[in-house]
Structure 1
Amino acid sequence: MIKGVLIMNDQGKPRLVKFYEFQPPEKQQELIRSIYRILCSRAENVSNFVKVDTLLGPDVRMVYKTFATLYFVFIFDNSENELAMLDLMQVFVETLDKCFSNVCELDIVFNFNKVHTILDEIILGGQVLETNSSEVVRAIEDISKLEKNGSSIIPSIAAWQGR
């Protein structure tokens, strides 16, 4: 099961935090700081797989990848395959790139709702739903169309009711 997904910049500021098991806010902040300390202290030529049982309990692992100035971090238990998580991370980044045409930190900051929706189309409740970035993009486009149409339906209903 996937325990959490984090995106943080190279200075440790979280840009997306999604835990699939309840963590009190204080614990989340502590975990984010600890994970950042681990990431920034690692050499560039080492594996992207990290065992984090001391932080999150036994059999919990973490995989991360750096894209531009952002760390993408997936936390998961040993029921998930490390390489599959790395691949899933790539799907997430590819989807973000397709939705924002070359995603950057500001896209994530100013479009956090869309980023969360994209993540929810890929992972829900710690379980993988979709691994095809084209399907995720199609679902996001459908959601955007519904949101646009939904805002135009409300005045129509009000006009229909004679208001």
Structure 2
Amino acid sequence: MIKSVLIFNNHGKPRITKFYQQIDIGTQQALLQEIYSLVSKRPDTACNFLEGSQMLGGKDTRVIYRHYATLYFVFVVDESESELGILDLIQVLETNISEIVSAYNEANKLKKRSGTIATISTSGASAVARDMGAHFASTVTSTLQSTLQTTVTHSTTVKFITVS
């Protein structure tokens, strides 16, 4: 049975923690510090399996971890779990998290690139139209629309609001 899943950085700062047993916050912090001190001192060539201490639940508890770049992925399990199976699970978890973060970052870059131009120009058109009055509103909006069509990529949808 998996007792907890922990992901923390090289400095011991937790990034993701999930405990599958009811544990108070103070004990969780102590567990994180103990596991970090055990795992961070070991070289990368050492075995990825550790026997649990009294705080973790005794001899029947194991700590299985993997170090990737700046993150430690740690599973605290009981003796019924397969160590190699948990290492495979850690690999799958790391791969999926990496793909999700990459896709999110790529979408964020595209959103910032196209959204900034459209947002600024659209709000600028509305402000100019309000200042100049209703007579020039359609002229200003159509001019800015044609300018934006040349600067915004074809995959971006821009919505204009005409102020009258």
User: Do both share a fold (TM > 0.5)?
Assistant: yes
Cα distance in structure 1, aligned partners of 2:103 and 2:62: 29
* Preserved CA contact (<8 Å) 1:96 1:103: no
Percent pairwise identity: 43
Cα distance in structure 1, aligned partners of 2:40 and 2:103: 24
Which structure 2 residue ranges, 5 or more long, are not aligned?
Answer: 106-164
Residue of structure 2 equivalent to 1:41: 41
Asked which structure has the greater CA Rg, the reply is: 2
Cα distance in structure 1, aligned partners of 2:43 and 2:89: 23
2:29 is aligned with 1:29: yes
TM-score under structure 1 length normalisation? 0.60
* Preserved CA contact (<8 Å) 1:51 1:61: yes
* Coordinate RMSD, CA, aligned: 1.8
Which structure 1 residue ranges, 5 or more long, are not aligned?
Answer: 105-163
Q: Residue 2 of structure 1: CA displacement?
A: 0.2
Cα distance in structure 1, aligned partners of 2:40 and 2:75: 16
Give 3-state SS (helix, strand or coil) of 1:12's partner.
coil
Cα distance in structure 2, aligned partners of 1:103 and 1:36: 29
Residue of structure 1 equivalent to 2:90: 89
Cα distance in structure 2, aligned partners of 1:82 and 1:34: 20
2:107 is aligned with 1:98: no
User: Residue deviations 1:102-148, cap 9 Å, x none?
Assistant: 899xxxxxxxxxxxxxxxxxxxxxxxxxxxxxxxxxxxxxxxxxxxx
Query: What is the letter of the counterpart of residue 8 of structure 2?
Result: M
